[in-house]
Amino acid sequence: MTLNNFLSNLENKNPGQSEYLQAVRDVYEDVFPWLDNHKDYTEEKLPERLAEPDRTIAFRITWRDGKGNIQINKGWRVQHNNALGAYKGGLRFKEGLRLDTLKFLAFEQTFKDALTGLPMGGAKGGSDFNPKNFDAMDIERFCQAYMLELYRHIGPDIDVPAGDIGVGSREIGYLFGTYKKIENKFQGALTGKSPAFGGSCIREEATGYGTIYFLKQYLENSGGALQDKKALISGAGNVALFAAQKLLDLDVTVKSVSDSDGTLEFKEGLTHDLLNALKELKFEKRGRLSEMEEGRFKSQVRYHKDKQPWGLEGANIAIPAATQNEIGEKEAKDLLDSGVETICEASNMPLTSDATKYVRGLKTMTILPAKAVNAGGVAVSGLERSQNAEYQHWSADKVDEKLQSIMSDIFKTCLRYGEGDFVKGANIAGFERVAKAVIAYGAN
């Protein structure tokens, strides 16, 4: 079967699920040519079996807010594949979230988790609940109601959710507390917990740190160094801010962060003081970046309302760390014009298909793909599971050392499989690891 036939069949079965179809297309464009030399996988229908989730659970969440009003939300868990281990992947709470998005994320997660080399399958879940519309007490109520439904589908050897957009350590605390209460068991059915109660050190930092470990290795391998570089970052969640922190630690100039309202440019580069203020604003006050225009840092920043960072001049590295499809072909061209040579994908599927095709066709710009670059988060989730299973708590140094070694292995794997094309390397290596296990299990 040709790729086009395969994709049109998939589209007929999943009409309108554009992000899911995009994710499958992006991976299979690399996998299909490789399958020509791996006929056993085609005969055993691996492409079909790995595109389709094992199961999709959809449910209603009804809860009463602090004003006494009944609220109704949609909830899902997409358990994509557990060939390599229990289902594993985050929960996203976001206004307007669709099953389509979670199917793309669960598909990607399966190959990302495979790349970590840890025994984890792939899943993703979430809700169309919009945390921005509710106060902390309503968020607690919602998390409890969400877990009242989710608990029956998860467990340390079944499916282990974690955080994602809209779900941080506060929400994981509420979700885990509810799970523990219902099951009357203290066990590692969720990761991203606080280190105060079974969480791993540096889980919060891991996706951002891992991103920079990967980038550093890539630059060193191609004869460069991070030190003299300038980076644009989008997003202002934990991925963006901890990537920024690691860059600062390595003396790299960080020129921007952003949120859904606009971009905050750092005129002379980000400083530790500014970063601390941003962490307080985003993690504690849960405010907007526009607030930085006022107050003690106003002379150091410039705020660009309704703008992404990709038009800013003078950077060599772009680190999208906001959300999917944040860079289209136009933005990719802007990046090229402004001198960016490396797009280091910290968010999942940040480039549209057109943008990916455009950049991969260039000799002067390289994509470091999300499923490899941002695997550090789920890798430390895997380490959190190990700590929970052995009733131990490891030091931050130990976890960080393991994270660096996992990122380095992922880098080498992508290099070997892609021969310089990291997108291809990550896609084929991830696919092969899952496919090998699936084929060994026979027809199930």
Strand duo 366-368 + 342-344: pairing = parallel
Residue nearest to ligand GLU (CB): 90
Mention every residue, 6+ apart, whose C-beta is less than 8 A from residue 134.
65, 142
Q: How far apart are CA 144 and CA 402, in angstroms?
A: 33
Residue closer to ligand GLU, measured from CB, 88 or 255: 88
Residue type, 241: L
Interface segment toward ligand GLU; rule CB under 6 A; list 144-152, 325-333, 373-381, 392-400: 373-381
Do 256 and 233 contact (CB within 8 A), yes or no? yes
Residues 300-359 interacting with ligand GLU (rule: CB under 6 A): 348
Interface segment toward ligand GLU; rule CB under 6 A; list 5-13, 288-296, 324-332, 374-382: 374-382
Residues 86-145 interacting with ligand GLU (rule: CB under 6 A): 88-90
Q: How far is the CB of 179 from ligand GLU (least distance, A)?
A: 15
Residue closer to ligand GLU, measured from CB, 116 or 413: 116
Q: Rounded to the nearest 5 degrees, what angle is found at the Cα of 232, between the Cα atoms of 226 and 237?
A: 105
Q: Rounded to the nearest 5 degrees, what angle is found at the Cα of 293, between the Cα atoms of 290 and 297?
A: 125
Based on the shown chain and the rule CB under 6 A, indicate whether residue 381 belongs to the binding site for ligand GLU. yes
Based on the shown chain and the rule CB under 6 A, indicate whether residue 275 belongs to the binding site for ligand GLU. no
Which phi and psi angles does 97 have, rounded to 5°?
A: -60, 140
Q: How far is the CB of 396 from ligand GLU (least distance, A)?
A: 17
Number of residues that bind ligand GLU (CB under 6 A): 10
Residue closer to ligand GLU, measured from CB, 227 or 405: 405
Based on the shown chain and the rule CB under 6 A, indicate whether residue 235 belongs to the binding site for ligand GLU. no
Do 86 and 45 contact (CB within 8 A), yes or no? no
Q: How far apart are CA 419 and CA 184, in angstroms?
A: 50
Q: How far is the CB of 366 from ligand GLU (least distance, A)?
A: 22
Q: How far is the CB of 417 from ligand GLU (least distance, A)?
A: 20
Q: Break the chain down into helix, strand, coil percent, rounded to 5.
A: 50, 15, 30
Q: How far apart are CA 204 and CA 13, in angstroms?
A: 37
Bridge partners, 112 (sequence order): none
Judged by CB under 6 A, the residue of 97, 162, 274, 434 near ligand GLU is: 162
Which phi and psi angles does 254 have, rounded to 5°?
A: -105, 125
Q: How far apart are CA 295 and CA 297, in angstroms?
A: 6
Judged by CB under 6 A, the residue of 164, 171, 204, 334 near ligand GLU is: 164
Residue closer to ligand GLU, measured from CB, 233 or 252: 233
Q: How far apart are CA 259 and CA 96, in angstroms?
A: 17
Residue closer to ligand GLU, measured from CB, 165 or 226: 165
Mention every residue, 6+ apart, whose C-beta is less than 8 A from residue 4.
none
Helix (H, G, I), strand (E, B) or coil at 112: helix
Residue closer to ligand GLU, measured from CB, 21 or 165: 165
Q: Known catalytic residue: 357?
A: no
Judged by CB under 6 A, the residue of 75, 235, 369, 377 near ligand GLU is: 377
Residue closer to ligand GLU, measured from CB, 162 or 438: 162
Based on the shown chain and the rule CB under 6 A, indicate whether residue 378 belongs to the binding site for ligand GLU. yes
Q: How far is the CB of 414 from ligand GLU (least distance, A)?
A: 16
Q: How far is the CB of 171 from ligand GLU (least distance, A)?
A: 12
Q: How far is the CB of 92 from ligand GLU (least distance, A)?
A: 8
Binding mask 53-82 for ligand GLU (x = CB under 6 A): ------------------------------
Phi/psi-derived region of residue 230, left when phi > 0, alpha when psi is between -120 and 50, beta in every other case = beta
Q: How far apart are CA 257 and CA 280, in angstroms?
A: 15
Strand duo 342-344 + 317-319: pairing = parallel
Residue closer to ligand GLU, measured from CB, 179 or 303: 179
DSSP line for 146-183: HHHHHGGG-BTTTEEEE-BTTB-HHHHHHHHHHHHHHH
Residue closer to ligand GLU, measured from CB, 163 or 418: 163
Residues 169-208 interacting with ligand GLU (rule: CB under 6 A): 191
* Chain centre to alpha carbon of residue 259: 16
- Please identify which residue in the block is written with the tokens 């506060």: 170
Based on the shown chain and the rule CB under 6 A, indicate whether residue 85 belongs to the binding site for ligand GLU. no
Check 88, 103, 112, 124 and give the catalytic one: 124
Q: How far apart are CA 339 and CA 322, in angstroms?
A: 21
Interface segment toward ligand GLU; rule CB under 6 A; list 35-43, 242-250, 375-383, 385-393: 375-383
Binding residues vs ligand GLU (CB under 6 A): 88-90, 162, 164, 191, 348, 377-378, 381
Q: Annotated catalytic sites, by residue?
A: 124
